[in-house]
Amino acid sequence: MSDIGTPPEGIGPHEDRELELMLIGEKPLAMFGDAVSSDYEVPEADFAPYVSDGTFVRREMVYLPPEPEPAIRTVYFARAGEEWRIEAMHRIKQRLFVYKEPISLETEREIGRLLGYADSDINSYLEWIGLKGSSHI
């Protein structure tokens, strides 16, 4: 997708605020990922004390898309009791990355809900990127 500029006020993103939002209970799930060979570093150390004390649950998955695409490592953190969100997101990521299912409007909505965005924010986001009225991206 091309760069579509800065989102309107009130529309995410949660990037760089995941831990803060999870600690105050506004975000039930955070995920970080990139190609396995990437230099990207997941903020594991920031989340580690909360994983250790049971506030958060951590899971790591590696998705193996068809060649020649690189494997994708994703680290999930969920608030304790919200682990089901990791499993639901894992199933979506498998469909998208491994089985190459085209992303749909409903999948975008489901991802937003799993990450803790309000339906109004999801709708605003979809409208901003021009997808609200389409069924496939």
> Where are the chain's structural domains?
18-83
Task: Give residue 126's pLDDT band: very low, low, confident or very high (50, 70, 90).
Answer: confident
- Cβ atoms of 61 and 31 within 8 Å: the answer is no
Listing from the earlier edge strand, what are the strands of the sheet with 72-79?
A: 29-35, 72-79, 56-63
10-34 average pLDDT score: 86
Residue 137's nearest CA partner among 111, 110, 96, 102 is: 102
Residue 28: its pLDDT value, please? 97
101-106 average pLDDT score: 90
pTM as predicted: 0.84
Phi, psi of 77 (to 5 degrees): -130, 130
Torsion of CA 75, 76, 77, 81, to 10 degrees: -150
Residue 9: its pLDDT value, please? 66
